[in-house]
Amino acid sequence: MMGDSEVTGRQGGEPGPYASIAGYERFQLLRGRVRRAALVVGTVFLGWYFLYVGLSAFARDFMARTVVGHVNVALLLGVLQVMSTFALAWAYVAYARRRLDPLAGELR
């Protein structure tokens, strides 16, 4: 196993053996999809999270509104954060299985 360090542990010497695959059209398709998916999921979850943090810090009257009984908007949005995390994770995994894994398998 340690013999593999010729590949990752190289100090100078020959550049990466897989570099040429980067020019393949199928690879560029895969890279485009991964980047787009990461950008979309990243923007959505960070935007939604910091919106929630911003509301908690600056829109306290809105967060204090009662929804039902003692449940207020703050609690509802918090639980929604948890649920949206589950949903986004599920959606990303489903997308990766359908659109990314087969392409990666072709190129490997």
Partner 1 sequence: MIEHHGVALAVFVALIVLTLGITVWARANTRGADDFYAGGRTFSGPQNGIALAGDYMSAASFLGIAGIIALSGYDGFLYSIGFLVAWLLALLLVEMMRNAGRFTMADVLSVRVRRQAPVRRAAVVSTVTVSVFYLLAQMVGAGALVSLLLGIHSGERFLMMSAGTARTVTIVLVGALMIFYVAFGGMKATTWLQIIKTALLLAGSVVLTALVLGRFGFDVSSMLGSAAGSSGQGEAFLRPGLRYGQDVPGDAYRTIVNKLDFISLAAALVLGTVGLPHIVNRFFAVPDGRAARTSVSWAIGLVGAFYLMTLALGFGAAALVGRDAIVAQDPSGNTAVPQLAQAAGEHVGGHLGGDLMLAFIGAVAFATILAVVSGLVLASSTSLAHDYFGQVLMLGRPRESQEVTVARFAAFLVGALAIALAVVCRDLNVAFLVALAFAMAAAANLPAIVLSLFWRRFTSTGVVAGIYGGLVSSLVLVFFSPVVSGKTDPVTGESLSLFPAGVDFHFFPLENPGLVSIPVGFACAVAGSLLGREQPDRERYDDLSVRALTGAGSH
Give the footprint of partner 1 on residues 1-40 (CB under 8 A): 1-2, 4-5, 7-12, 15-23, 27, 30-31, 34-35, 37-38
Shortest Cβ 43–partner 1 spacing (Å): 11
Rg (CA), the chain: 22
* Amino acid code (one letter) for 76: L
Size of the site for partner 1 (CB under 8 A): 64
Out of 36, 43, 102, 104, the only residue in the binding site for partner 1 (CB under 8 A) is 104
The nearest distance, CB 63 to partner 1, in angstroms, is 6
73: Cβ–Cβ under 8 A, 6 or more apart, which residues? 62, 63, 64, 65, 67
Distance CA 74, CA 80 (A): 10
Residue with tokens 């449940």: 71
CA distance 65 to 71: 9
Q: Please state, in angstroms and rounded to a whole number, the distance separating the CA atoms of residues 13 and 16.
A: 10
Residues at the site binding partner 1, with contacts judged by CB under 8 A: 1-2, 4-5, 7-12, 15-23, 27, 30-31, 34-35, 37-38, 41-42, 45-46, 49-50, 52-54, 56-58, 60, 63-64, 68-72, 74-75, 78-79, 81-82, 85-86, 88-90, 92-93, 96, 101, 104, 107-108
